[in-house]
Amino acid sequence: MATTCLIVIPARYGSQRFPGKVLAPLAGKPVLQWCWEAAVKARLGKVLIATEHTRVLEFARSIGACAVMTSPGCQSGTDRVFEASRGSRADFILNVQGDEPFMTAAILKKALRKLKASPSCEIGTACTRISSGAEVRDPNCVKVAMNAEGRALYFSRAPIPFHHELSPLKDRPWHRHCGFYIYRRGAIERFVRLRPSPLERLERLEQLRALEAGMGIAVAEVPAPGPAIDVPADLKAAERYLKARR
């Protein structure tokens, strides 16, 4: 039987650090439209935008996107994705962020293949190599440590794994987490039913809840997808990235 997927893009208008960022213009079209077009291009299944605001709902429908209203009380993007995906019988639920305008179809497909090839894992995601020492030290750059099979051992805002001065593996790269997730059917419900874990609350990283509960996370290494939009200044970085890519 063919694999079925549902891609849900959580698009919260009321972002604390950058209200309305999903509708902020980037090179002539809103950030959310960039994300939606990349998700559609992947051709993995139905693409659904989930929001808490009528402005986002109306915009989504104006470009022909499927969109639903979700509760303003959702505590996270994952909660919003779960609410929007209720009733779906898809084998995999993809949580693709509404502030990642440069996500690519190739990255999503590689992460899905990785999860399919990792039967002991319930969740899939991706990482990219870090080339800058400043990124390694930046707490906003989330690092991931993995075993030889690409299964996540830990995620942290700290530089992990630590490179000891006496280690013979000093040239081993650090990896930055790409903030999207793929859940097997049933895994996302199991995740949202869990209480926020101590490590999650300490580092403010939602994925640590899954690790603390024993849920396996398969990580595919991919090329860097380009800058995400977290604060208004990121729009300028995104414009520079587009110019360099062209």
Residues 6 or more apart whose CB falls under 8 angstroms from that of 193 comprise none
- Residue 2 above 70 pLDDT? no
pLDDT greater than 60 at residue 159: yes
CA dist 197 and 204 (Å) reads 10
Say which residues have a Cβ less than 8 Å from residue 93's Cβ, sequence separation at least 6: 5, 6, 8, 81, 85, 182, 183, 185, 188
Domain 105-224 coded CATH 3.40.50.80: no
Average pLDDT, the chain: 94
Give residue 152's pLDDT. Answer: 98
Q: What is the pTM of this model?
A: 0.93
- Please name the fold of domain 1-99: Spore Coat Polysaccharide Biosynthesis Protein SpsA; Chain A (3.90.550)
- Segments making up each domain of the chain, as ranges: 1-99, 105-224
pLDDT at 246 exceeding the cut of 80? no
Give the separation between CA 154 and CA 168, rounded to whole angstroms. Answer: 22
pLDDT at 1 over 50: no
User: Before 161, cis peptide (omega within 30)?
Assistant: yes
